[in-house]
Amino acid sequence: MASDHHQRVRALVCLICNDKAHFKIARNSKILSAVQDFVIEGYIPEDQRLPNGICTSCRKKLLNFSAGDFKDVLPVLPCYKARLEFRSKRLAENRKCHCQICETHRKSGLFGSRKKLRKRLKGHPNQSGSNKENTNQGSFLCVGCLELIVSSSGHSCVRKHSRKSAANATGLVIRHSTLQQAKLATGISQNQMRTFVQVLRQDSVVEPHLMCEMANENKKFENLFSCDEVIHGTNDAKMPLVYCTNVRALVDAVLQARGQKIEDTKLRLSIDEGRTFLKVSASIFSTKPDNEEKMKMFKSTGVKRTFLLAITPMRETYESIAIILSKLSLDVQLGDLEYFFAQDLKCFNITLGLGPHRSAFPCLYCHWQVGK
């Protein structure tokens, strides 16, 4: 049984940066799920080898990671390898534990913990450096051997008798690609997938850092989109507009993922306003019936395979639609790809410069006049 001093100190040291902890990692908490997803897979608060606290800065970053915000970077994890065979001893009440965690709490800077930063002199840059140049694909900790690993590289645990290393050796690890296919087939959300994986890890071994992989997958086409502020309305108000800067590259990537050829497909576009947002959506469908029958999960024109090309909080007017279509430059970017618009009659009238359906000439196909 661990000494009372060691148990108390574990909650006073941050697990990630070894600085002073302000919160305790509790069972069934959000911060525990974030630690297991992004730092140490399989971490439990009762593990005597590791600290049980977390500072305000690291806690905020982990919660942002859980929400899908990866702009911040965690500090490099301390080295806990010396505590692989740690066994806490029962001590007398007046004696203190002198293990790595307790010594780190007593004096900052030992055992790879974060050193105190010098106060920056006025007019001089900070000499301590910054973590902004690092990436979120940094170091993670293997709970089996306490080795620092990188998410993109392989890792063979030195503890041969651990369940995880045995599963890796026999190929029984559930990979990210398998879980991504299951998520696509079932149509569940990212939070539902996280709950499913937590239950799955009780009896199976899942490849670590799934949430990081899913977040990177969601940002796969981030470089193909841009957000600009456009002037709209009579009062020259600035409105945000998110649009695709290279529609052809996006269409080619979707066709490659679906295994379709561009000469056998058409692009259907739609402009519509809903829930205070004006959107331009696109669907790619095959012109051959045989290819459509192979789509077992979702239809090509269904909502599950529809993607957005532009979205803005502007109203559905002639000026706003003209701004969006000028940003997309469909005639220039799509080239030889055949496309057409399928939308409601109201939007067609707006696009063609006609009046509403209560006007004198509401038809977009002929010159019929109301009342004649």
Number of structural domains found in the chain = 2
Q: Are residues 311 and 232 in the same domain?
A: yes
Q: What distance in Å separates the CA atoms of residue 173 and residue 23, rounded to the nearest whole number?
A: 33
- Report yes or no on whether pTM surpasses 0.85: no
304: left (phi over 0), alpha (psi -120 to 50) or beta: alpha
Q: Report in angstroms the alpha-carbon separations of 186 from 113, 173, 199.
A: 44, 21, 17
99 in any annotated domain: yes
Residue 299: CA atoms inside 13 Å, Cβ hemisphere, count? 4
One domain for residues 19 and 53: yes
Does 256 share its domain with 204?
no
Structural domain ending residue among the three candidates 185, 216, 247: 216
Residues 335 and 279 in one domain: yes
Q: Answer yes or no: is 348 within a domain.
A: no
- Is residue 358 a part of any domain in this protein? no
DSSP count for the chain of H helices, then E strands: 13, 11
234 and 205, same domain (yes or no): no
Residue-range definition of the domain harbouring residue 17 = 4-120+134-216
Residue 369 lies in a domain: no
The verdict on 81 and 154 lying in the same domain is: yes
| Domain final residue pick, 216, 248, 267 | 216
User: Does a structural domain hold residue 240?
Assistant: yes
Q: Does residue 202 sit within a domain?
A: yes
Residues 97 and 229 in one domain: no
278 inside domain: yes
Same domain for 116 and 240?
no
Last residue of a domain, one of 171, 186, 216: 216
Would you give per-residue pLDDT tens digits along the chain (372 residues)?
Answer: 456 777 888 888 888 888 888 899 988 888 988 888 888 877 888 888 888 899 999 999 999 888 888 888 888 788 777 666 665 555 444 466 777 777 777 765 444 344 444 444 455 444 444 444 444 444 566 766 666 665 445 565 654 444 444 444 434 678 888 888 888 778 888 888 888 888 887 777 787 778 888 888 888 899 999 999 998 877 888 999 999 999 999 999 999 888 888 888 899 999 999 889 999 999 998 887 665 555 556 777 788 889 999 999 999 999 999 999 999 999 888 888 889 999 999 999 999 989 888 899 999 999 989 888
Q: Same domain, yes or no, for 205 and 246? A: no
My answer on whether 299 and 159 are in the same domain is no
Residues 190 and 237 in one domain: no
For residues 70 and 113, membership in a common domain is answered with yes
